[in-house]
Amino acid sequence: MIAPRWRKVLRDVLERPGRSALAVLALSAGVFEIGALLYKYAVLQPVLTTMYEKTRPASATLSVDAMSDALLDSVRQVPGVADAEVRPVVMARAQTGPDEWTPVIVNVIRDFDHQRIDTFAPQSGAWPPAPGQVLLERSALSVAKVKIGDSLRVRMPGGEERSLLVAGTVHAAGLPPAWMDHFIPAFVSWGSVLRASDDAIASVEEPSQVRIVVSDHPLEEGYIREVADSVKSVLERNDRTVTRVTVPTPGRHPHADQMDAFLYLLGAFGILSFILSAVLVASMIHALLSEQVRQVGIMKALGATTRQVAGIYLGQVALLAAVALAIGIPLGLVVGRAYAQFSASILNADVTSAPFPVWVLIAEVAAGIAVPLLVALGPVLRASRITIHEALSGATAPRPFGTRRFERWLAGQVWLPRPFLLSLRTTFAKRARLALTVVLLALGGACFMSAMNVSAAWDRAVRDDFSHRRYDLTVFLRERQPISRIEALVERDPDVVHVEFWPGGNPYLIGERGVAGQQVALVGPDARTRLLELPVSQGRWLSPTDSIGAVINQGVVMRNASLGVGRDVSLRLQGRTVSLPIIGVAKELTPMPVVYAAQPAVYAALGEDGTSTKAARIVTRGHDDASQREAARRLERAFAEEGIEVAGLQRTSDARQSILDHLVIIYAVLGFASMIVVFVGAIGLTSSLLLNVVQRTREIGVLGAIGATPATISRHVWLEGVLIGVLSWMLANLVAAPISAGLEAAVGGIFFKSPLPFSMSPAASALWLGLVVVLGSLSSFYPAWRAARLPIRQALTHA
């Protein structure tokens, strides 16, 4: 038999179904968000770690012009090298539309079944591919616009075109998804028709990648760089040219930082909404206890101890929390799984076979019960400690309106319309409850506005950055061509209005210790150009009078913090060291390090005379996407007809759009998180209005008795809801500023390695004002309906 006090717990919960439902909803929202996050983390994290480790990722990759098995053996003998593998790589382009070509990196694999480093697994179709076949990374089918069984037309270096049968897909877990980086990873066999050489195994006279795995300290980037440097020396001593050395962050998936950051942001929002919902429940319990003061007194008069009384009300909280768990846990698991799958797709991972994380369930149950109990403990203990005399004599009756200065001031505002005045006074009658409701809703609004502000800041930053690059197309040529020839060819196009040729290269940046490490881009824009005018945070931009000066971007500063105006930036290029005095530090969105130098200095560094080029920056008549696309197609055709091989053709609008596309993910993440907080805020508002109606039942009866119609009474409650909403909007605007600044700094840091410019969108504020009025109206619907249908007789006799 259940003890009467526990029956009371159950019946008290059921007696107020509306309020109990709101408490359960608020708690469910918190449990749901925490559950979704924990589940996603628990499923994705181990999969990411094991999946990435299973590919045996290369510690470093060196791009060389040619390789041989004998030389590979020498590389394996270098101290610190545990293993090494060579893969010929063909940097080609695949046709993805009429006169549209997308970069494809073709990896030539010697033995598909015995891969050693950066491994990949068969996904579907053929394995290994026949000489006329190609396997694509599974995420590349959409980028290549093909399906298995289709033909993929590949334009090789040199201009030769081959058609390959797409025979299957592979899963290369160490690679980011192709749709994100806009290139096609492809895999062909040693005997592929794409290869210039035949089956010669001993010698690979074609560009290749040497992948190494270090034997010791696999997570120390400095050590890896030292070993890579030793390997590079060995290769160079054997007359090989090393064009690039790549050392990824050891032990980290290429996109793991982004996912960690998203998890951090969502975690912060999740914890916030969970705490808010718990605080809301505490306030509901507080309101419940204030109604039950007399019952507390009676129970004490019957012999109940403080602990027993507290147990009854904590039991109510635990019951509500248990129901919330029953709703929130399954929802959280479903959404958590979907979110894990979504995140996995960004990371090119699979979570379908991940085991169910039992600890998440345990943690959810523990937090879902413990946190509401903890936040309710204060009000419950306060209420339980009340003396019988206080409880039964009404010593805790609410303070009458008008005893505080603000209330007296409010009472004097008789110029306001009477119904509005009544709503206003009612709103401010319960100031603690009003404050809690306003704060809850304001936090939701602030999160919502912050999500929009981050989007606005991102959009503004990207558009602002691209506004300094006033060219529409960049053509990269495979081989150097006379500038006069390219200029004549390009200017024949009716849509081309201007073209410039800037020299450039990819030297190594010499770091603080004098060691060449990271590769940077070196660009020599025309000193009189209008196509590139970057804003500077230090010093100045290049001028026509500069002959040796350089402007570095913050990507360079990040890699060598000692660099700044007045210092020299030292670059290692073609075996020589070039030092250029820094005259400015440019503000750029890209985290990639770029050195912009005076054109004569760049020509000198590259050993060029300025008559030939490998790149052209083109301005078209119409700057829109359609005209850029059309001009690009015509130029592709024109270059092909002239027999000039294009290595790449980039539309500026494409580059801008691909950065803007990341916004979708950011907005989805922040929007989802803020909606939960808004939801909790709306429940808080409904609960507050409902409590006001319950506690003012007699007053509502009086209003009805003196002639107020149900419509008047419900309008009064609605006005109260809207007033609270507008108050919360004011506070939300203040709170949104620091939250937005924090999020903009965090998001900018994740993607661009520097904070986004602070942005507060007036549109976001206006939209939230509109939404909060709608939300206030929706939240007041049930309380207003309930107030309007209270029978006057019953209301007047309400205790």
Residues near another protein (CB under 8 A): 1, 3-5, 7-8, 11-12, 15, 294-295, 298-308, 385, 387-389, 392
Residue 308 or 543 with smaller CB distance to another protein: 308
Minimal distance in Å, beta carbon 387 to another protein?
Answer: 7
Asked if 175 and 185 touch (Cβ cutoff 8 Å), the reply is: yes
C-alpha 431/C-alpha 425 separation (Å) is 10
Residue 12 or 495 with smaller CB distance to another protein: 12
Residue 270 or 311 with smaller CB distance to another protein: 311
H-state helical runs in 355-417: 358-384, 388-393, 405-411
Residue 8 or 786 with smaller CB distance to another protein: 8
Minimal distance in Å, beta carbon 408 to another protein?
Answer: 17
Q: Which residue type sits at 763?
A: A
Minimal distance in Å, beta carbon 702 to another protein?
Answer: 22
Q: Which of 502, 468, 482, 487 is nearest to 601 (CA)?
A: 502
C-alpha 327/C-alpha 641 separation (Å) is 66
Residue 75 or 285 with smaller CB distance to another protein: 285
C-alpha 384/C-alpha 306 separation (Å) is 5
Identify the DSSP state of 140: G
Asked if 788 and 713 touch (Cβ cutoff 8 Å), the reply is: yes
Identify the DSSP state of 469: B
Minimal distance in Å, beta carbon 10 to another protein?
Answer: 9
Minimal distance in Å, beta carbon 303 to another protein?
Answer: 2
C-alpha 545/C-alpha 526 separation (Å) is 11
Cβ–Cβ contacts within 10 Å for residue 282, how many?
A: 23
Residue 288 or 647 with smaller CB distance to another protein: 288
Residue 226 or 390 with smaller CB distance to another protein: 390
Beta bridge partners of 532: 469
Asked if 703 and 717 touch (Cβ cutoff 8 Å), the reply is: no
Q: How far is CA 323 from CA 283, 362, 741, in A?
A: 18, 16, 37
C-alpha 511/C-alpha 513 separation (Å) is 5
Minimal distance in Å, beta carbon 307 to another protein?
Answer: 7
Residue 8 or 587 with smaller CB distance to another protein: 8
Minimal distance in Å, beta carbon 302 to another protein?
Answer: 4
Q: Which of 799, 786, 793 is nearest to 692 (CA)?
A: 786
Question: Angle at CA 544, nearest 5°, toward 539 and 548?
Answer: 65
Minimal distance in Å, beta carbon 456 to another protein?
Answer: 52
Residue 4 or 707 with smaller CB distance to another protein: 4
Residue 11 or 528 with smaller CB distance to another protein: 11
Residue 385 or 540 with smaller CB distance to another protein: 385
Query: Look-up: residue for tokens 């998936």?
Result: 253
Minimal distance in Å, beta carbon 409 to another protein?
Answer: 22
The token pair at 347 is 């990371």
Minimal distance in Å, beta carbon 295 to another protein?
Answer: 6
Minimal distance in Å, beta carbon 13 to another protein?
Answer: 9
Task: Report the Cα 372 to chain-centroid distance in Å.
Answer: 30
Minimal distance in Å, beta carbon 306 to another protein?
Answer: 6
Minimal distance in Å, beta carbon 281 to another protein?
Answer: 20
Helix (H) or strand (E) holding 94: strand 81-97
Residue 12 or 588 with smaller CB distance to another protein: 12
Residue 292 or 779 with smaller CB distance to another protein: 292
SS3 711: helix
**What is the DSSP secondary-structure string of 319-359?**
HHHHHHHHHHHHHHHHHHHHHHHHHHHHTT---TTPPP-HH
The token pair at 223 is 């050590």
Cβ–Cβ contacts within 10 Å for residue 15, how many?
A: 10
**What is the DSSP secondary-structure string of 575-630?**
TEEEEEEEEEEE--S--S-EEEE-HHHHHHHHT--SSEEEEEEEEESS-SHHHHHH
4-11 long-range Cβ contacts below 8 angstroms, 24+ apart: 5/304, 5/308, 5/311, 5/312, 5/315, 6/312, 6/315, 8/312, 9/312, 9/315, 9/316, 9/319, 10/319
Q: Which residue type sits at 322?
A: A
Residue 6 or 785 with smaller CB distance to another protein: 6
Residue 318 or 331 with smaller CB distance to another protein: 318
Which residues, 6 or more positions from 418, have their beta carbon under 8 angstroms from its beta carbon? none
Pairing label, strands 568-573, 508-510: antiparallel
C-alpha 208/C-alpha 643 separation (Å) is 26
Task: Kindly report whether the peptide bond that precedes residue 128 is cis, defined as omega within 30 degrees of 0.
Answer: yes
Burial track 81-102 (b if 16+ CB lie within 10 A, e otherwise): bebbbbbbbbbbbbbbeebebb
Minimal distance in Å, beta carbon 14 to another protein?
Answer: 8
Minimal distance in Å, beta carbon 794 to another protein?
Answer: 12
Minimal distance in Å, beta carbon 698 to another protein?
Answer: 17
Residue 292 or 455 with smaller CB distance to another protein: 292
Burial of 406 by CB count in 10 Å (0-12 exposed, 13-18 middle, 19+ buried)? exposed
Residue 217 or 294 with smaller CB distance to another protein: 294
Residue 298 or 527 with smaller CB distance to another protein: 298
Minimal distance in Å, beta carbon 299 to another protein?
Answer: 7
Minimal distance in Å, beta carbon 391 to another protein?
Answer: 9
Which residues, 6 or more positions from 70, have their beta carbon under 8 angstroms from its beta carbon? 202
